Chains A and B, each alone.
Chain A
Amino acid sequence: MTTRRTATMLGLTTLLFGAAACGAEDETASPATTQPGGAPGTNKAAPVSDKCTSSGATFTPATGVDVAGSPTFTKIKTAGKVVVGVKNDQPNLGYKDTDGKRCGFDIEMAQLVASKLGVDPAKIEYKDIPSANRETAIKAGEIDYYVGTYSITDKRKADVAFAGPYFIAGQDLLVRKSDTAITGKETLKGKKVCSVTGSTPIQKVREEALTEPANISEFKTYSECVSQLVDSQTDAVTTDDAILKGYAAQIPSQVKVVGKTFSVEKYGIGLPLEDKALRDKVNDILAESFTDGTWQKIYDGTLGKSGSPAMPPTLERY
């Protein structure tokens, strides 16, 4: 009896693995490159590919760089590589595809900084750090800097330093492509809203009573929320528009970003607290990219594919 049970279980497993194996004969049809501007013409069966494609900006390592008085820079120079904290599940922002390649707006900003510090971007060591551990990782020296939807707040400035902002995001809404009813935060009444458990955007929705409490759902990851959106289990996903744009750029035929942003989040590069020299240097790097078109090129090739334009922000040095 129990051997029969085992046999059934093992049979089930092999069946499922077998199904997975035969599942994909002719799927080479997925387009490998995306059209600029996020062409919405693709049908549901062939969305934008998961494979990482860069924006096209090239980063040649600068030579003869020196940042006097920066212990972190000395560490980077001696190691010959740089350790960067990033996210890995935000499409077109901080993403790791099925081949292990990294791409996205934040990733390319990290590569830009690394190259201007004299490090070959190919030699970057990426570390996936969840949001709760960011300050600890920087303080412990586990990473040299952090680029991953890291909002500059006074509270955090007590633990880490910020260079930037390099992007101004704001809370916004992601809805189904066909949805015309939701145009902004005022039109959320009676609609279901989803975000990550306990995150600031969903608390804002609660505080401002943008929708009834029964319509609020929270999951552990944004992907789950977006999946629920596509399945019509929820009507809107809310978080920073940068993250939403990333999803919209990946599946432009199914979702879109609407409305104006209703909060302000300034993304900065997290750096060790006491290292002013490095902070100034990184700010210089950012300022240069704003004016010489690199920033724009990176944006247009990543988040810009969602169809929403953006401009470089103003630096806030301190």
Chain B
Amino acid sequence: MGEFLRVFSDNRSIFVDGFLTTIQLFALAGVGCLVVGTLLGAMRVSPIPALRAFGAFYVNMIRNTPLTLVFAFLIFGTPKLNVNLSFFTFASIALLAYTSAFVCEVVRSGINTVPVGQGEAARALGMTFTQVLSLIVLPQAFRSITPPLISILNALLKNTTVAAGFAVGEAGAIQDILSELGEKRTPTLLWITICFLGLVLPLIVAQRALERRWGGNR
């Protein structure tokens, strides 16, 4: 047991650095994918065929591609396009691009749960597009969007470990570093799991609470 605790305390800085990077990736990609995902959702329901087609194409491509391949393209493809950003930025973009496809679908189905009559009534009353969106549609869609959204963010948090394979030193890379230092992998992995559970648990608890309160729209 003492040995187990020692593995953590000796290498505390490595753990902290790794998980700090994880949280940073999560925060950046999380906020970004919510924005981009909503945009994509708006595109998919818009009356403009070109935007609808692009949104549908993007979502279908991404949903059928492994996340690791999205990463690989970004890390090895974009330099050819003369885009030179840090690997951290690339990782955030990869996670963002991947997750926003799923956010898009949730937002789209959420918007579609609001009865058409609500929108028609609002427009009949003379509300503008923005008013309809912000006062009528989004508040009602919120209930059915939020729990799946939290679970998507949950998955995003876990997906950040994939960045370990692509030059970003976050939680998934910790065990490689520590084993080169001579630590046994079992306690290392156990500690990584514990830290992850610590991060993931609040999200799961929040999601369950919300589902129970709002009865789950599905």
Interface residues of chain A, those whose CB is within 8 Å of chain B, are 5, 9, 132, 155, 194, 197-200, 203, 214, 216-220, 224, 227-228, 231-233
User: Beyond A218-B169, A219-B167, A220-B165, is A197–B79 a contact (Cβ under 8 Å)?
Assistant: no
Residue of A nearest to B90 (CB): A233
Contacts of B3 in A (CB 8 A): none
| B106 CB to nearest A CB, Å | 20
Name which residue of chain B comes closest to A194, CB basis: B167
- 8 Å CB contact of B182 from A155, A218, A227: A155
B118 in the interface (beta carbon within 8 A): no
Query: Closest chain A residue to B88 by CB distance?
Result: A214
A198 touches B173 (CB 8 A): yes
Measured between beta carbons, the chain B residues less than 8 angstroms from A197 are: 164-165, 169, 173, 176-177
Query: Which residues from chain B contact A155 at a C-beta distance below 8 Å?
Result: 182
Is B181 in contact with A218, judged by CB distance below 8 angstroms? no
Q: Provided the pairs A5-B60, A197-B173, A198-B173 are in contact, do residues A219 and B180 lie with their beta carbons within 8 angstroms?
A: no
Instruction: Note all chain A residues with C-beta closer than 8 A to B169.
Output: 197, 216, 218
How many positions in chain B have a CB within 8 Å of any CB in the partner chain?
Answer: 22
* Cα-based distance from A231 to B75 in the complex (angstroms): 11
B residues adjacent to A (C-beta < 8 A): 60, 64, 76, 79-80, 84, 86-87, 164-167, 169, 173, 175-182
Q: Are B87 and A217 in contact (CB under 8 A)?
A: yes
Minimal beta-carbon separation of B185 from chain A (angstroms): 9
A214-B176 contact, Cβ under 8 Å, with A197-B164, A227-B76: no
Asked whether, in the complex, the Cβ of A200 is within 8 Å of the Cβ of B180, the reply is yes
Query: Which interface residue of A203, A216, A217 has the most chain B CB atoms within 10 A?
Result: A217
Residues of A with C-beta under 8 A to B177: 197-198, 203
Interchain CB contact under 8 A, A203 and B181? yes
Decide if A218 touches B167 in the complex (CB within 8 Å): yes
CB distance from A196 to the nearest CB of B (A): 9
Cross-interface CB contact of B180 among A203, A216, A228, cutoff 8 Å: A203
* Chain A residues whose CB sits within 8 angstroms of the CB of B166 once the complex forms: 219
Main SS of the interface on chain A? mixed
CA distance A198 to B164 in the complex (A): 10
> Given A5-B60, A218-B167, do A231 and B80 touch, yes or no (CB 8 Å)?
yes
**CB–CB A199/B180 < 8 A:** yes
Complex-state Cα separation, A278 to B217, whole angstroms: 71
| C-alpha gap A203/B167 in the complex (Å) | 14
B167 A217 Cβ-Cβ under 8 A: yes
Chain A residue contacts of B182, Cβ below 8 A: 155
What 7 pairs between A and B have smallest CB-CB spacing? A198-B176, A217-B167, A198-B177, A231-B79, A197-B176, A198-B180, A233-B79
- In Å, the complex CA distance between A228 and B182 comes to 29
Would A214 and B167 count as touching, CB distance under 8 A? no
Chain B residues with CB under 8 A of A203: 177, 180-181
Additional pairs, 18, CB under 8 Å, beyond known A199-B180, A224-B76: A5-B60, A197-B165, A197-B169, A197-B176, A197-B177, A198-B175, A198-B177, A198-B178, A198-B179, A200-B180, A203-B177, A216-B169, A217-B87, A218-B167, A219-B165, A220-B165, A231-B79, A233-B84
A211 to chain B, nearest CB (A): 14
Measured CB to CB, the nearest residue on chain A to B56 is A5
A220 CB contacts on chain B under 8 angstroms: 165
Nearest to B86 among chain A residues (CB) is: A214
Contacts of A228 in B (CB 8 A): 79
Can you list 30 A-B pairs with a CB-CB distance of less than 8 A? A5-B60, A9-B64, A132-B179, A155-B182, A197-B169, A197-B176, A197-B177, A198-B175, A198-B176, A198-B177, A198-B178, A198-B179, A200-B180, A203-B177, A203-B180, A214-B86, A216-B169, A218-B167, A218-B169, A218-B173, A219-B166, A219-B167, A224-B76, A227-B76, A228-B79, A231-B79, A231-B80, A232-B79, A233-B79, A233-B84
